[in-house]
Structure 1
Amino acid sequence: MKFIIKLLVLVMISYFVYVYIILKPSNDKAWELEFQTPSTVEFIDEDRVKINHIHDWEYTDEFQTSVRYFDETYNMKNLRRVWFVLEPFSKWQAVAHTYFVFDFQYQEPIAFSIEARREVNEAYSGGAGLVGGYELYYSWGTERDFTGKRAYRDNATLYMYPLKLSGSRMINLFKTLAEETNTLADHPRFYNTLFDNCTNELAKIVRKANPAALPWYSLYVLPGYADYFLYDHGYIDTRLSKNELRQMYNITDIVRQNYKEGFSDAIRDVISVAVLP
């Protein structure tokens, strides 16, 4: 038994030495096309930011049909709503991808997502994500790109929840995400399947923006039920029961049916009928 314990300790020490000391993250690799052009942010004044390299790709059922990026300036005083999007993985519902969507007055919605940055011909693997196989990738994109890609091209199921946040908390969140985007661009870090994934990275940024916003949540490493966590803490409208929650906020069919014409307004028309606070 003592031998096994010593062996486990040695393995853990070796793991941390290898991943956090020997390996060095880098922005200079042969990246897959999707990860070649990271977003950066310029702070114009205390209210306005310019986001560079906003992803705005278009897709067919299987492939992207155009690769496009653009720059856009946003006045944070015009921020009207924040949405939390959950994409459960079909094989194991406890695992999911999550991201934010921000609604601005007078402008199209913009999304923020955290990904595992893959090199050319590199597939995603949870095991590789435990041993420094990927860098982190923070990106800003249109709702048409980030949400359309998942529901329309990838045939994924999506749930999109309006969050109950004050105006100041929305602004603090958006501003902190913008700041962290630049920090990562200058100082690359590794993605980690358990400790630095899409959801717990978002949670860290949320806590940095508003330290009292979220308590520690054991399922940050398994985020498939993050919507229920937000519901329990009052960030999602509790006039619905948990059993009704996903049925009401499932946007999958809306996106697929309206992808070519544009689905952002269709989503908000359906959800705003009964559930927006």
Structure 2
Amino acid sequence: MCLCIGIWGGFALWYQFPGNVVAKVVAILVWCVPSIWAIRAGFGPVRRWHSLAVFGVLFAVMLIWWATITPQQDRAWADDVAQPLHARIEGDRLIIDNVRNFHWRGKTDYDVRWEKREYDLSQVQSVDMILSYWMGPAIAHTLVSFGFADGRQLVFSLEIRKEQGESFSALGGFFRKFEAVLVASDERDIVLTRSNVRGEDVYLYRLHGLSPDKMRELLRFYVDRAEQLEQAPRFYNTLTSNCTTVVFELMRRIQPNLPLDYRLLASGYLAEYAEDVGGLTPGVPLARLQQAGRITLRAREAGDVANFSSRIRAGVPGIPASGTTSQ
């Protein structure tokens, strides 16, 4: 137990202690001294209760300090997460003040475009799951794309809200390193960012068995979650509050009996989970869904064109030739 607490405290200090690298290292070294004493006391032939008591007091102080670390709204955010999702529903109208529609030429070369858009909720016709693999077969970023009768796609993604100059750290995501932000994006922006700019491997699957009412309910879920994050910002957590867990929470509103599964953590296998619970195109083997749903090359070849969404969907099972209508 003391060893686990000691390791946790070391990482917490590394990611959250104020100051430069030298200050962080000094703080960790100071923390290591009582940690080592406590570990030795716990395993020694005679327990040295004073060492354990000192460690316990310092751990309590550590927890008090940890509780003071709260998520913020007013940092110097990176351009692509500078505007959180601000949306409202008026009757059948979904109004979003800041849909991201950047034009990307490279990781640091892009045109910043945040647009106000309106969508007719009565015209939502499809929901697609997009998995973007960035670190091996077990880890993928999960996005949800809604298709409308006019051919437009609206994509939602829960992401880390990076500050300028920051980069993602899966380990840092356990230690309150990043706030969470919900992004609404044009499909060309968010898919091209991953397939063309970041070099990720991207797959698209049509979700099966959702009625129009359920699709609208899913959209309202994202609006509700956006309002919650505006009112009370939260930290992104690599394990418990990430791009995949929010999708699971979303789907459980529609199907309350969805089972928990390790593939909700190993998000690269989320397509297998979706197939097992009957969420993908029926009658098509998973291998075929994966093969036909791999849109990486189609996205790279299409580039920033007006019919991008229909081109990447060509041949994907469950999607008619028009690309956006429900099966």
> Do these two structures clear the TM 0.5 threshold for a shared fold by scoring above it?
yes
1:266 paired with 2:295, answer no
- Residues 19 and 223 from structure 1, CA distance in 2 versus in 1: closer, same or farther, beyond 3 angstroms? farther
Native 8 Å contact 1:206 1:213 kept in 2: no
1:240 paired with 2:302, answer no
Deviation per CA, 1:57-104, whole angstroms, max 9, x where unpaired? Answer: 011255443110111112211100000000122x42111101001001
Segment drifting more, 238-247 vs 176-185 = 238-247
The equivalent residue for 1:26 is 72
TM-aligned CA deviation for residue 34 of structure 1: 1.4
1:210 paired with 2:254, answer yes
2:77 is aligned with what amino acid? W
1:174 to 212, 219, 227: 219
1:75 is aligned with what amino acid? D
Structure showing greater relative contact order (alpha-carbon pairs closer than 8 Å, 6 or more residues apart)? 1
1:81 to 102, 126, 137: 126
TM-aligned CA deviation for residue 223 of structure 1: 0.6
Larger radius of gyration: 2
Which ranges of structure 1 fall in alignment gaps of 5 or more residues?
none
The equivalent residue for 1:38 is 84
1:55 paired with 2:100, answer yes
Deviation per CA, 1:91-127, whole angstroms, max 9, x where unpaired? Answer: 4211110100100112511100010111121121111
Native 8 Å contact 1:38 1:137 kept in 2: yes
The equivalent residue for 2:295 is 251
The equivalent residue for 1:183 is 228
TM-aligned CA deviation for residue 159 of structure 1: 0.5
2:238 is aligned with what amino acid? T
Deviation per CA, 1:143-187, whole angstroms, max 9, x where unpaired? Answer: 011111111111211100010112221111111111111111111
TM-aligned CA deviation for residue 9 of structure 1: 6.2
1:163 is aligned with what amino acid? L
Distance 2:112 2:230 in 1: 21
1:228 is aligned with what amino acid? E
Give TM-score, length-normalised by structure 1. Answer: 0.89
- Residues 265 and 187 from structure 1, CA distance in 2 versus in 1: closer, same or farther, beyond 3 angstroms? same
Specify which structure has the higher proportion of helix.
Answer: 2
Native 8 Å contact 1:230 1:236 kept in 2: yes
State the superposition RMSD in angstroms.
2.4
Distance 2:192 2:292 in 1: 19
Native 8 Å contact 2:205 2:289 kept in 1: no
Distance 1:7 1:257 in 2: 52
Native 8 Å contact 1:258 1:266 kept in 2: yes
Q: Percent identity?
A: 25
The equivalent residue for 2:159 is 115
Native 8 Å contact 1:62 1:154 kept in 2: yes
Distance 1:84 1:19 in 2: 39
Distance 2:108 2:257 in 1: 39
Number of residue-to-residue matches in the alignment: 270
Helix, strand or coil at the partner of 2:313: helix
